Structures are given as structure tokens and as C-alpha cells.
Amino acid sequence: GQQLNQSPQSMFIQEGEDVSMNCTSSSIFNTWLWYKQDPGEGPVLLIALYKAGELTSNGRLTAQFGTTRKDSFLNISASIPSDVGIYFCAGRSRVNTDKLIFGTGTRLQVFP
């Protein structure tokens, strides 16, 4: 099935560092979502974006809806050990709003 391209695939960082990851698609989306998945758990919604250019924060997390409507970015500031996990972007198209298309994930490791 269709998937979004997400990069980087994995990141290994020191505690306190900032993190950036992005997601791109060949299709236009009207909603971009970012989820985090902890081991053995289902994904949990972090941030939802609804308009091109929108910038939304949730604590140390900030996400942006790209102006082309084909990409999105997630930044994590001052990383802490509990940020470890897999981060997925997901998009909702204008054509079929009932489905989410997920990115391939960014695996984040934080070292103390």
C-alpha cells in the first residue's frame, strides 16, 4: 500500500540535544499527524495539523504542515530519555478522509 517517506530512519542522540525529522509525500494531504509508538504499544497521537504552513507545539514538540501540503516536520527540543521510541507521520488525503497513510517511522534513541 501507499506509504509516506520519512527520514531519517533512525537517530542516536545525546540527552539534551534537539531532534528534527520529516515526512514527504507525492500526494497532497489536508491533515498531517504525528504519532509516537513505545515498545509493545500502539501509536499515540502527538500533534495534528490542519492547514498549510501551520506550526503547532505540544510541550517540547513542534510540528509544521509544509506549504506545499506534501510534507511535514517534527522537532523535539531538549530531548530526554523517555523520548525514545518510534515516531510516525500520517497523512489524511482530501479524496479519502476515512483513511490514514503512515510513514515508515523514525526510530529515536536517546543516550544519557
Partner 1 sequence: GAGVSQSPSNKVTEKGKDVELRCDPISGHTALYWYRQSLGQGLEFLIYFQGNSAPDKSGLPSDRFSAERTGGSVSTLTIQRTQQEDSAVYLCASSPRSASYEQYFGPGTRLTVT
With respect to partner 1, which residue has the nearer C-beta, 1 or 59? 1
Strand blocks (E) in the chain: 5-7, 10-14, 19-24, 29-37, 44-49, 55-58, 61-65, 71-76, 85-93, 101-102, 106-111
For residues 61 and 74, is the Cβ–Cβ distance under 8 A?
A: yes
**Least distance between partner 1 and beta carbon 43 (Å):** 5
Closer to partner 1 by Cβ: residue 2 or 67: 2
List binders of partner 1 among 82-101 (CB under 8 A): 88, 90, 92, 97-101
Binder to partner 1 among 28, 44, 55, 78 (CB under 8 A)? 44
By beta-carbon proximity to partner 1, the closer residue of 52 and 77 is: 52
Question: Is 102 an interacting residue with respect to partner 1 (CB under 8 A)?
Answer: yes
Q: Which residues contact 5 (CB under 8 A, 6 or more apart)?
A: 23, 24, 25, 103, 104
Q: Which of 12, 11, 19 is nearest to 112 (CA)?
A: 12
Binding site for partner 1 (CB under 8 A): 1, 3-4, 6, 31, 33, 40-45, 48, 88, 90, 92, 97-105
